[in-house]
Amino acid sequence: MLTGVVIDAQAVSAMERFWTEATRGRTGGLRLRFAACDKPKIGKNRLHLDLAAGDDWQAEVDRLLALGARHADIGQGDVPWTVLADPEGNEFCVLHPGHPGVLADSGLVAICLDMAEEDRSRQSAFWMSRTGWMHIESGAWGFRLRHTEDSAVSLVMGPPAAAKTGRNRLRLEVVARDLEAGEHLDPCGNEFHVRN
């Protein structure tokens, strides 16, 4: 069962404050847990969060910038979302109103994990079994899992996959009775946390 996301942070309290305010505390029942880390972020993350902007996209972007976010360019081009980075440089997306897959007016709406096209079948099967979430939709962009059809938060996986340059700064966290508690790897080498 998917329970949340672990985020490495150099300033744990500040990052926890930022994300609580950024999501307005709306995380769809998933926990954002911050782990102390002394290393700064390097390169593009393989896992990031998507937030729904609500009816006034620009006002939400302005609110997030005032909280300490900044604009980020990861080569996204012209897309129906805005890419920002949190105070420690972790990318996240602010989805414009009407974006497919958004079932909530604000807060966390998707956890996105990079995946190469050739890894689709094994990643899909692995994460469906680990989360207990169901496959909702798929396309050339990847696939989407949700706990239920109307769950506010989805798990989205798709290309392009960033090169792995070390331990992932953001990691999924699951409860699993068949695995030892601690850190494990998914089929594509992404770390994830297990709680019993």
pLDDT for position 98: 83
**pLDDT tens-digit map of 136-173:** 999 988 999 999 999 999 999 999 888 888 999 999 99
Average pLDDT, the chain: 94
pTM of this structure: 0.95
What is the secondary structure of the chain as a DSSP string?
-EEEEEEEESSHHHHHHHHHHHTTT--TT-EEEEEE-SSPP-S--SEEEEEE--S-HHHHHHHHHHHT-EE--SS--S-SEEEEE-TT--EEEEEPTT-TT--SSSEEEEEEEE--GGGHHHHHHHHHHHH-PEEEEEETTEEEEESSTT-S-EEEEESPPPPP-SS-SEEEEEE-SSS-SEEEE-TTS-EEEEE-
Check which CATH number belongs to the domain holding 42 and give it.
3.10.180.10
% of the chain beyond a pLDDT of 90: 81
Q: In terms of residue numbers, what domain contains 54?
A: 2-195
pLDDT for position 54: 84
Q: How many domains does the chain have?
A: 1
**pLDDT tens-digit map of 41-83:** 988 999 999 999 988 999 999 999 999 999 998 877 787 789 9
pLDDT for position 160: 87
pLDDT at 193 over 90: yes
